[in-house]
Amino acid sequence: MKQFFLSGGFKVIVIMLVILGGVCVYSAAATPVTPAEQAIAVLAVPLQRQSTALTQTVTGFWNRLFHYGELEENFREVEQERDELKRKLVEYEELKRSNLQLKGILGIKEEHPDYTFEEASIISRDPEWGDNRFTINKGTRQDVQERDMVLVAGGLVGRVEKAGANYAVVTALTDPNFQVGAYDNSTNYLGVVSGNGDSCEIRYLTQEPEEGALIVTSGAGGNCPRGLLIGSVKKSEKQKSGTTYAASLEPVIDLSRLTDVMVLTGFDGQKEEP
């Protein structure tokens, strides 16, 4: 179809139709119109209209075809600008995240000058365990060892379960295999925090905790410092023993949003592994 519009035959047809229309109009104005001429004029008018419409269509098509290359070039420029903006946005988010991480480290350093850290990024999550286990990009070459505690500025995240040369597997505080000594910050009653797969809970409290009470690490065992925030009490109940209480907790850290963590590689009072 495109070749037909651009062919010489099509142009000849258009020219003939225009000439025929012009002749009809001239004849009507110059001489009296006979019945035969009227008939020819009646037939010619629709042809003129079709010729005009066809000419406009071809002209519009030709103009669009003529400007297509320019539009395509503009489109490529817009795509390049979009890709550049995306790249700058990624760089900005990375810089903002690094700044927040640095502020968190500095804040903890000011409060606990004896802490030593190794910053790490989460590089994978175990599909079978979801947010309960993940792998970080630091290992024994960076002084990361098994049983080192993992945290962020807001509080406790978990513990290193396995350490390779350049990676480590972290068990989060929501994992059923995680346990740490803790206490109710408002009453100082001791208990043990463990994961249940979806969240975590504290057990063996000798006094019922209030809703919203903060639970922090006790430092028992020497592998975790005292005072790391774990979460807040959601609901409590008496345990089957009848003498102690258990409470479900809301972890202070949203594990699903974590991208970077800090491995606590040393602190005053840390127990040395045999």
Chain-wide mean pLDDT for the chain? Answer: 78
- The predicted-structure confidence for 199-213, as pLDDT tens digits, reads as follows 999 999 999 999 999
CA distance 26 to 208: 108
Please report which confidence band the pLDDT of residue 107 belongs to, taking 50, 70 and 90 as the band edges: low
The 10s digit of each residue's pLDDT in 50-73 is: 656 666 665 666 566 556 666 677
**Which two three-digit tokens encode residue 52?**
């005009």
Q: What angle do CA 161, 165, 167 make, to 5 degrees?
A: 55
| Structural contact between residues 191 and 184, judged by C-beta atoms closer than 8 angstroms | yes
The 3-class secondary structure across the chain, one letter per residue, is CHHHHHCHHHHHHHHHHHHHHHHHHHHHHHCCCCHHHHHHHHHHHHHHHHHHHHHHHHHHHHHHHHHHHHHHHHHHHHHHHHHHHHHHHHHHHHHHHHHHHHHHHHHHHHHCCCCEEEEEEEEEECCCCHHHEEEECCCHHHCCCCCCEEEECCEEEEEEEEECCCCEEEEECCCCCCEEEEEECCCCCEEEEEECCCCEEEEEECCCCCCCCEEEECCCCCCCCCCCEEEEEEEEEECCCCCCEEEEEEECCCHHHCCEEEEEEECCCCCCCC
In the chain, % of residues over pLDDT 90: 42
pLDDT confidence of residue 12: 52
Average pLDDT, integer, range 4-26: 55
